[in-house]
Chain A
Amino acid sequence: MTALSSEAAPPPGRTFLSKVADLRAWLFLVILVIFFETWAQTVYGVTFVGNTYNLQSIGIFATAPLLLALGQTFVIISAGIDLSVGFTMGLAAVVSAHMANLGASHLGLPPFLSMLLGIVSGVAVAFVPGLVNGWLIARLRVPPFIGTLGMYGIARGAAYLIAGGMTVPVSNAWFAWIGNGRIAGVPILVIIAAVVVLIMHYMLSQTRFGQHTYAFGASRVAAVRSGINVGKLTMRIYLLAAVCAGLAGALYSGRFAAGAAQAGEPLLLSSIAAVVIGGASLFGGSGNIAGTVAGALVIAVIEYGLVFINVEPFWQFIAVGVVIIISVLVDQSQRKLLGGRVDE
Chain B
Amino acid sequence: MSEPLLSIRGVSKYFGGVHALEDVSMDLKAGEVVALAGDNGAGKSTLIKAVSGVYKADRGEIRLDGTPISFESPQQARDRGIETIYQDLALADNLSIGANIFLGREPKRRAFGFLPVLDRALMADAAQETMRRLDFHVDRLEAPVSAFSGGQRQAVAIGRAIYWNAKVLIMDEPTAALGVPEQRKVLALVMALKEQGKGVIFISHNLGDIFAVADRIVVLRRGIKAGERVPAETTSDEIVRLMVGG
Residues on A facing B (Cβ under 8 Å): 1-5, 7-10, 14-15, 202, 205-208, 211-212, 214-215, 217-219, 221-223, 225-228, 285-286, 339-344
**Contact between B147 and A341 (Cβ–Cβ < 8 Å)?**
yes
B122 within 8 A of A: no
Chain B residues within 8 Å of A341, by CB: 146-150
4 more CB-based (< 8 A) A-B contacts, given A222-B103, A227-B75: A214-B92, A226-B103, A342-B147, A344-B179
Chain A residues within 8 Å of B91, by CB: 219, 222
**Which of A2, A212, A285 is most buried by chain B, counting CB atoms within 10 A of its CB?**
A2
A215 to B102 CA separation, bound complex (whole angstroms): 11
24 contacts between A and B (CB under 8 A): A1-B188, A2-B184, A4-B152, A5-B136, A8-B148, A10-B143, A14-B147, A206-B111, A206-B115, A207-B116, A208-B108, A211-B95, A215-B95, A215-B99, A215-B103, A219-B90, A219-B92, A221-B90, A225-B86, A226-B103, A227-B75, A341-B147, A342-B149, A343-B149
A99 to B30 CA separation, bound complex (whole angstroms): 68
Name the contact of B103 in the complex, choosing from A5, A14, A223 (C-beta under 8 A). A223
**Contact between A285 and B104 (Cβ–Cβ < 8 Å)?**
no
Q: Closest CB-CB distance, A237 to chain B, in whole Å?
A: 16
Output the nearest chain A residue to B188 by Cβ-Cβ distance.
A2
A228 to B88 CA separation, bound complex (whole angstroms): 18
**Contact between A2 and B94 (Cβ–Cβ < 8 Å)?**
no
**Contact between B191 and A1 (Cβ–Cβ < 8 Å)?**
yes
**Contact between A1 and B92 (Cβ–Cβ < 8 Å)?**
no
**Which of B95, B115, B184, B188 is most buried by chain A, counting CB atoms within 10 A of its CB?**
B95
A215 to B103 CA separation, bound complex (whole angstroms): 8
**Contact between B92 and A339 (Cβ–Cβ < 8 Å)?**
no
A152 to B137 CA separation, bound complex (whole angstroms): 50
A339 to B146 CA separation, bound complex (whole angstroms): 7
Q: Closest CB-CB distance, A342 to chain B, in whole Å?
A: 6
Output the nearest chain A residue to B144 by Cβ-Cβ distance.
A339
**Contact between B135 and A1 (Cβ–Cβ < 8 Å)?**
yes
Chain A interface, DSSP helix/strand/loop, else mixed: loop
**Contact between A227 and B104 (Cβ–Cβ < 8 Å)?**
yes
A250 to B25 CA separation, bound complex (whole angstroms): 66
B182 within 8 A of A: yes
A241 to B116 CA separation, bound complex (whole angstroms): 23
**Contact between A212 and B134 (Cβ–Cβ < 8 Å)?**
no
B199 within 8 A of A: no
Instruction: Scan residues 125-140 of chain B and give those whose CB is less than 8 A from a CB of chain A.
Output: 134-140
Name the contact of A214 in the complex, choosing from B90, B94, B191 (C-beta under 8 A). B94
Chain B residues within 8 Å of A215, by CB: 92, 94-95, 99, 103
Name the contact of A4 in the complex, choosing from B92, B93, B104, B185 (C-beta under 8 A). B185
A130 to B138 CA separation, bound complex (whole angstroms): 42
**Contact between A218 and B185 (Cβ–Cβ < 8 Å)?**
no
A2 to B95 CA separation, bound complex (whole angstroms): 26
Q: Closest CB-CB distance, B193 to chain A, in whole Å?
A: 11
A303 to B149 CA separation, bound complex (whole angstroms): 45
Q: Closest CB-CB distance, B115 to chain A, in whole Å?
A: 8
Q: Closest CB-CB distance, B178 to chain A, in whole Å?
A: 10
**Contact between A2 and B93 (Cβ–Cβ < 8 Å)?**
no
Name the contact of A342 in the complex, choosing from B111, B118, B148, B184 (C-beta under 8 A). B148
A222 to B111 CA separation, bound complex (whole angstroms): 28
Chain A residues within 8 Å of B135, by CB: 1-4
Output the nearest chain A residue to B155 by Cβ-Cβ distance.
A4
